[in-house]
């Protein structure tokens, strides 16, 4: 892991995820409200695609016990390992270690803050 004393650049929120009980209803609702289309990205998961063709975030079929957890967000960082070290040093818990996103999209990891809220990091940096 990286050095917890070095602050990684965390530049922007780059992804969100909404847990939903019914994917068809959610795609209809968010499509009508925001004008999004949806691209399947795996079993029970769809990316929301904006009018410009950019993937914005995702909706996923969540177990009943996860529906109340709210929207999940992911932030871009230039060094995933250093960012995760800072999370644990500050009292958070890494729940998903560095994992490949797939499709040459980079890597991601997830953690919970001390209150249990899920937050993710992503990077395109293969070394960090």
- Tens digit of pLDDT for each residue in 62-73? 888 777 667 889
Show the beta-strand stretches assigned E in 1-128.
10-20, 37-42, 45-49, 55-61, 72-77, 93-100, 107-112, 118-123
The count of domains in the chain is 1
Report the predicted TM-score, pTM, of the whole model to 2 decimal places. 0.69
Q: What is the pLDDT of residue 11?
A: 78
pLDDT at 5: 57
Residue 33's pLDDT is: 78
Residue 37's nearest CA partner among 48, 22, 52 is 48
Which portions of the chain are predicted below pLDDT 70? 1-7, 68-69, 128
- Give a yes or no: residue 37 inside a domain: yes
Question: What CATH number is associated with residue 75?
Answer: 3.10.180.10
Q: Quick check: is 1 in a domain?
A: no
Residue 4 lies in a domain: no
pLDDT attached to residue 12? 86
Range of the domain at 19: 10-123
Q: Which of 73, 98, 92 is nearest to 19 (CA)?
A: 73
What is the number of other CB atoms lying within 10 angstroms of the CB of residue 43?
7
């Amino acid at each position: 892991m990286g050095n917890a004393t070095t602050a990684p650049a965390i530049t922007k929120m780059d992804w969100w995820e909404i847990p939903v009980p019914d994917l068809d209803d959610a795609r209809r609702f968010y499509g009508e409200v925001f004008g999004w289309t949806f691209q399947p990205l795996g079993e029970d998961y769809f990316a929301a695609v904006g009018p410009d063709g950019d993937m914005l975030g995702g909706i996923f079929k969540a177990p009943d016990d996860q529906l109340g957890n709210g929207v999940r967000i992911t932030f871009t960082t230039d060094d995933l390992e250093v960012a995760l070290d800072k999370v644990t040093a500050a009292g958070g818990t890494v729940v998903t270690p560095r994992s490949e996103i797939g499709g040459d999209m980079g890597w991601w990891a997830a953690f919970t803050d001390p209150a249990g809220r899920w937050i993710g990091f992503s990077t395109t940096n293969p070394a960090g």
